[in-house]
Structure 1
């Protein structure tokens, strides 16, 4: 999904736009309508910032493909890891790899390989938009995987993709190159429903089966405490915003395939 559109319809942006429109209505003399809209915008922002709503939205996504230990995962021909987990070095100010919140993806890929679940590991992740001079994330993931015991000879790198759709489009050739017919798709549990839908749509007719191998669960097993469930906080707002993005992406895939 287009990142600009996703940001435009995030709870925070919708609340800001609603507040601005409310001010405009009051300025034009529609005071009551403006006040109602302002209350709706503020109430929506408060609700989206509560741990209860953030957890509820995240659970609705993560329970679709819950993570399982590497040893309990099915056998496949290749493990396909999506970017969004690591940041490549940006010397001289940032000479080291940056481990993001989704770095579990790389760890889980290594665990799957060491457990003998697949012979190949395909890494899909390019440079962030506007940072074309930075090494692609696939190279950063490969560096970490080598340190975790995955040999370079078992890895294939795709370093041009910038979003989930490009992950699928550009990695298909590598999957075919290694002769894989069954692929374990590794990404965060929150992102898995959308990623799986995109990959299944792109891989349709290729003879390659995509099997979810989720990791990085945030909501599962982490139900908010009753006494704080309705107290807004910045983390919950960010969490809700990511969930909204995932659902919008799922809707986009559905519209494109129906």
Structure 2
């Protein structure tokens, strides 16, 4: 059953996946909301642009799944909520999972669920929360035949980065990716490394588990297209981008440009005109 759902995520022609994440409202952070204030409109725009999947929360998934027809993007369901993204962190940090996550995903006809695996300097308790979430979620996913996507996230110190900023150090990212494999991930959504050309090492350490690369914070069109093209050359199986799509002036155009790079091996110079 997992295989049939995974087949809905990955493009039949290329074997790759572009998942557009618009689950940011789950995290109660105002800087995450531009571009998705009207989530119903955002979902409609993305459906028309036709990515492989759209990542949504339990409270917003109906905007995708209530749309008629069988050709719409697959649903990736976010299963955990956290308060670790602000420029000033609260005194008590947490990462909590929704109740009966795999069963709720089945009811929503999701193709996959996603859960975080945080590494935050000075906050080992949040890593503990994540590990507990995954340990509970894995057997449920196996029971219901629901693919499990684990999202390792390596944070820079909050006082240094001024909020939610990832650390692109491969020596930190690679072990987290391997831990996600060991915990039973079917798919891994991982940070990009500072040096794109060494990303094949992350792919290698994941073995047979497909790697989808996160987009991170906003970047220029040229930067995000070039980075994506170079990452695909490193052997990744796709991308999961959010703000670089939904906060763009032309989300549909950016989606089509990235789809061409991911699935058709298009070069950035050949797709920049789509934006």
Higher gyration radius (CA): 1
Q: Do Structure 1 and Structure 2 share a fold, with TM-score over 0.5?
A: no
| Higher relative contact order (Cα pairs below 8 Å, separated by 6+ residues) | 1
TM-score normalised to the size of structure 1? 0.29
Q: Which is helix-richer, 1 or 2?
A: 1
| Structure-2-length-normalised TM-score | 0.28
